[in-house]
Amino acid sequence: LRPTGDSAPPWRSTIAPATRWHTRFKVGFNADEAHNIVKECIDGVLGGEDYNQNNINQWTASIVEQSLAHLVKLGKAYKYIVTCAVVQRSPYGFHTASSCFWDTTSDGTCTVRWENRTMNCIVNVFAIAIVL
Amino acid sequence: VKISREVGFNADEAHNIVKECIDGVLGGEDYNQNNINQWTASIVEQSLAHLVKLGKAYKYIVTCAVVQRSPYGFHTASSCFWDTTSDGTCTVRWENRTMNCIVNVFAIAIVL
């Protein structure tokens, strides 16, 4: 070790680089994790059910609320938007599209498609990083 | 000198922008399986482009669902975890004889 000067602590070296302390930040949106969370929510709400006009409003609301709650519980610095569309299976056409203007390095999305004999369900998760 | 900053998301302005985009793409058309992918893509892209052109400090997410009109059920829901003072949403419902269209705009304020 070589002393760097009177004011410097004696253990600081000019040869070795200064020690950096890293705090781990999880960067980026984990789409797989979100996918699993949402799929479990849909299974829990729609699994084993047939399309039912009386219940469908409650089901779609439950899916988005439960998915959102589980995502927030991950404790990451993200804002979330969860959308859910359920259609009764039929020969009629149904199409969805989405487009985003955001920070592609930090924000992300994930889409879960689910179906059973009587229903098709599409859930989109959009995650926007909160800049602290 | 006061620089005026519009705070909050202007849902009416977004509503008008999106409605014009839908009218421009779907107006006068009948449901057509060959074109529907291109139509939904055009609606979200044009809406997004016009919203961004407003020049406000917002990130935008635009979603569009088009269903062929039928006796069959179709339901949508959405839920958001965000800053209710600065972020906002707007939903535009449009229909004609053969199609129903629902477009959602979600606007997240960019903290500068």
ipTM: 0.87
Closest CA to B43 of B61, B14, B23: B23
Find where tokens 């997240």 sit: B108
**Is residue A7 predicted with pLDDT exceeding 80?**
no
Which chain B residues touch A29 with a CB distance below 8 Å? Answer: none
Average pLDDT over residues A17-30: 56
Residue of A nearest to B78 (CA): A83
pTM: 0.83
**Residue A27 — pLDDT band, cuts 50, 70, 90?**
low
Of B37, B51, B83, Cβ closest to residue A95: B37
How close is the nearest chain B Cα to the Cα of A84, in Å? 5
Average pLDDT over residues B71-97: 93
Phi first, then psi: give them for residue A68, nearest 5 degrees: -60, -45
Closest CA to A121 of A63, A80, A81, A69: A63
Closest CA to A39 of A125, A100, A97, A127: A125
Q: Chain A within 8 Å of B9 (Cβ-Cβ)? A: no
Q: Which of A27-31, A108-112, B40-44, B78-82 has the lowest mean pLDDT?
A: A27-31
Q: Chain A within 8 Å of B93 (Cβ-Cβ)? A: no
Which amino acid is located at A106 in the chain?
A: S
**Is residue B5 predicted with pLDDT exceeding 80?**
no
pLDDT at A15: 53
